[in-house]
Amino acid sequence: MRKNIYFALLLFFVTTSFQDVFAAKERSFRISKNLSIYNTLLRELDLFYVDTLDYDKIVKNSIDEMLIKLDPYTMYMPEEETDDLKFMTTGEYAGIGAMIMKKDKDICISEPYEGMPAQRNDLRAGDIILEIDGKKTDGMLVGDVSARLKGIPNTPIKLKIKRLGERKPLDKEFLREKIQVNPVGYSALVADKVGYVLLNEFTDRAAIELSLAVNELVKTHQIESLVLDIRNNGGGLIDEAVKIVGYFLPKGTAVVTTKGKNKDADRTYKTPLEPIYPQLKLVVLTNRSSASASEILAGAVQDLDRGVIIGERTFGKGLVQNIRPVGYGGHLKVTTAKYYIPSGRCIQALDYSHRNEDGSVGRVPDSLTTEFTTLKGRKVRDGGGIVPDTIAVDERKLNIAYYIYAQNLYFDFATQYVQKHPKIASPADFNLSSDDYKLFTDYLLEKKFTYTSQTEKYFNELLETSHFEGLDSIAKTEFAALKAKLVPDINKSLAENKIDILDLLSLEIIKRYYFQKGEIQYALRTDENLKIALEMLKPAGGYLKMLEKKK
């Protein structure tokens, strides 16, 4: 009997091993076959196609088309994009320290970073870049100009710029520097014993910079609660997210598990050290642009009942990417696994059909999701992203304020405003007056500002279709009445949306004087999510009750 069992097991393992070898050979043959076809096809095109071929472009396009069919995150990065790869992981590059943008036919400085070479050498938002090291920028794309601004640290750069109010172009000459963007965008005391930290990304210094910011708040203000803002944080390094979770939870706590086809991708990440802030109350702010490592942090905090999540459902990116060299300086960023947080649920959206236009998770019916429980028994669900404990959706509508923004009119007015106002009040106290608003609305009229709403665009498409189908004459009266309602009344819209317009205009103006930190400080004055967090953290605000109750 035992002999029979032994031979049966031996036969099973031999058969399974043979099948694995056969499958591996079959895969190898199919890869070789298709590569041979592709190689032959490219050579035939080179020999016989009527026009000269751009080989690099053809191959890059074909690779991109192949990879985009897999998932949105697997991509090929040729050698010239290596700097972007370094910036993604370290937040570091060598250049002048300023953002640029295309404006009409020109490339201009849109936002210099405080303390960086551009700002220290008096480059300002609105300055048009005419030349870089003697090379005119006429006809260049933003990427071309960006590449020329970057370079080896401590190498000289010469810029010729055109500035509003100056009759002649200005020459600027200084050294490029190694630019490292701090992942902590802002930190401050926002209420009695409550600290606030904005974390913009999970680069290789995210954890240490966060601890430095929180330590300063603890030392200076003796905070007992922390609001950690990861809204619009697209993620980054998983190890940094795990380290940050470890600041609040015991050593050895499992934060996230990765599982993939290749067993080498299977791994459980645990907090590496004893917690620094085990007693600190924690609220995490999220929105639909909080993705990847942000979702690991928020999901672990929620699953382990360590803090309260407030805001919008997160993006729903639970796919792990690794960077692999592929020769000639190029790299493949390839999806190798999925993330699973402590409750066992996967961050990744179940499919790509329930997505918003920006790629974030849309509404997924409960019937398509699975229920899980947190450490203390609270009910949570998968389906993609992290659903906050307290949902606070941005209810603002797409109105005239955003069409003004899209046409860079806040930016242009702010450039003029700076010429006439050498100083303004601090971000905590700054307010535009009624006279300022009147000047801005007059400026819009002077620029003959108008816009076509998305609804009106869809209406025009409907009207065109109805004409094609011969239905426009039947509903002529109704179409005319609807069109009259859709054509924007500029003056009425300016009056009705004054608050939104003033907010966006104020933010653009404040950036010119107080840079990114000033912009954040001003925005927090009216931040609804922060208000909800501060109310919850009050003694009778329900913070502890939220974590104890079962959903």
Contact 116, 143 (CB under 8 A): no
CA separation, residue 249 to residues 134, 253, 301 (Å): 55, 7, 9
Phi-psi region of 121 (alpha: psi -120 to 50; beta: other; left: phi over 0): alpha
Active site residues: 292, 303, 317
Q: What CA–CA distance (Å, rounded) separates 326 from 279? A: 47
Give residue for tokens 């005239």.
400
Amino acid at 291: A
Contact 227, 190 (CB under 8 A): yes
CB neighbour list of residue 158: distance below 8 Å, 6 or more residues apart: 131, 132, 133, 134, 171, 172, 173
Closest by alpha carbon to 282, among 238, 233, 230, 333? 230
Tokens representing 22 are: 């056969």
Closest by alpha carbon to 183, among 150, 218, 229? 229
Specify which residues 346 forms β-bridges with.
Answer: 340
Q: What CA–CA distance (Å, rounded) separates 285 from 232? A: 10
Contact 314, 234 (CB under 8 A): no
Q: Tell whether the torsion through CA atoms of 64, 67, 71 and 76 is positive or negative.
A: negative
Tokens representing 119 are: 């700002």
Residue 221 sits at φ, ψ, to 5 deg, of: -120, 0
